[in-house]
Structure 1
């Protein structure tokens, strides 16, 4: 089986996974560290995308070209935009959009030139496995194993919007949500890498799925205790969800 790539933007999001990696082997390539090994019985490559669409696209390309991965999974954090998407929730992406892409009037706003569409779908089967893994990880404790840190935490499925801007003000957040909704894009959360990785994976025909833990509501409090949230919540969610996801690959 080809290895599964597990991507995150920040080292803190992936620390627990790296500590569990068996027979780790580090390769330095394209200015990045790639860790090959086994995780829960599956061959994997762990990597940090760095922050932003260009950096994420570079990393995804390297994973496919240099390491021959068979699928790419992204774990990380995002700002909640959609109604009912709260801090501590998890969003599993069904599709991806670049909210800062505008080549109008040559192409409709948000449409990626020469692709004929604005939204790139996640792989249906891979996304279903990731969604099931997220639901299982956040379910009421089974023998005390639940990692849920928020009593009302939920798992959502829907559109993720990516852009090279950290959306952190209430006015900006509301404006972005409104303009996207008017264009027919009901977005659940905003981040900075997913749509770029989705486009690269489409180009190469490699299945892609992504999940994001909601660290804030992309408003004026978006910077508050961000690092602490990533370390104490998001990293634990990622570890538990990835474990269930990889085990489901073994069963599949």
Structure 2
């Protein structure tokens, strides 16, 4: 079982673990239901939509690396609020981050908060952000918004955990290369997984 709160848990066999890259899962998640989507919102949306049709999970868990100049490198942050940070149609009179004619709020709120973890707001976009300077979101990634939106529309429970690998600054690329492999170990510890496929 994966325990979200004292009152809420899900059977491990019914959970879909979604990663952008195999390196973020490493061998910690071997034998579990994993989905490697590739990088970016389009890849994430396409691969998750296919997986939902075939696997019909009871819970989608998005795990991966992310940048932040608010949290510390090595922190694992639970995100249940999401912004599409590269959506900008202000030229047509819409607000920054607003998806025109979608009936979706700028701040998409969907997903569980996990006991014992800090919470953050994830800004998702199709670029590797290295000059983060806004306060509307404090975690930066490239897939979570799309995954959360699909989970919400399909009415599937969602959990998003992000391992802070870099500061979303000038050193982001170098820091990410060093830190990304540590994400799977951190997730395995939090979710009580081991290589024998046992959860506590």
State the distance in 1 between where 2:173 and 2:40 align: 17
Q: What TM-score results when the alignment is normalised by the length of structure 2?
A: 0.82
Q: Which residue of 1 aligns with 2:98?
A: 111
State the distance in 2 between where 1:189 and 1:54 align: 19
The structure richer in helix per residue is: 1
Query: What secondary structure, in the 3-state scheme, does the structure 1 residue paired with 2:46 have?
Result: helix
- TM-superposed CA distance for 1:221, in Å, is 0.8
1:215 aligned to 2:174?
Answer: no
Q: Which residue of 2 aligns with 1:15?
A: 26
Q: Which deviates further from its counterpart, 196-205 or 105-114?
A: 105-114
Q: Which residue of 2 aligns with 1:164?
A: 126
Query: What secondary structure, in the 3-state scheme, does the structure 2 residue paired with 1:213 have?
Result: strand
The correspondence for 1:57, drawn from 39, 42, 45, is 45
The correspondence for 1:234, drawn from 165, 177, 183, is 183
Verify the 8 A CA contact 2:166 2:175 in the aligned structure 1: no
Q: Which residue of 1 aligns with 2:15?
A: 4
Q: Which residue of 2 aligns with 1:74?
A: 62
Mark the runs of 5 or more structure 2 residues left unpaired by the alignment: 1-10
State the distance in 2 between where 1:63 and 1:121 align: 22
Q: Which residue of 1 aligns with 2:192?
A: 243
Q: Which has the larger radius of gyration?
A: 1
CA RMSD of aligned residues (A): 2.1
**Cα deviation per residue 1:26-84 (whole Å; 9 max; x = unaligned)?**
xxxxxxxxxxxxx5xxxxx21111100000111111121121112210111100133xx
Moved >3 Å (runs of 4+): none
CA, structure 1 residues 234+111, in 2 after alignment: closer, same or farther (shift >3 Å)? same
- TM-superposed CA distance for 1:225, in Å, is 4.6
The correspondence for 1:87, drawn from 73, 76, 91, is 73
Verify the 8 A CA contact 1:16 1:239 in the aligned structure 2: no
- TM-superposed CA distance for 1:216, in Å, is 0.9
- TM-superposed CA distance for 1:227, in Å, is 2.9
CA, structure 1 residues 238+198, in 2 after alignment: closer, same or farther (shift >3 Å)? same
Verify the 8 A CA contact 1:16 1:236 in the aligned structure 2: no
**Cα deviation per residue 1:118-164 (whole Å; 9 max; x = unaligned)?**
122222xxx23xx22xx3xxxxxxxxxxxxxxxxxxx4202110000
- TM-superposed CA distance for 1:247, in Å, is 4.5
- TM-superposed CA distance for 1:94, in Å, is 2.0
Q: Which residue of 1 aligns with 2:110?
A: 122
Q: How many residues align?
A: 183
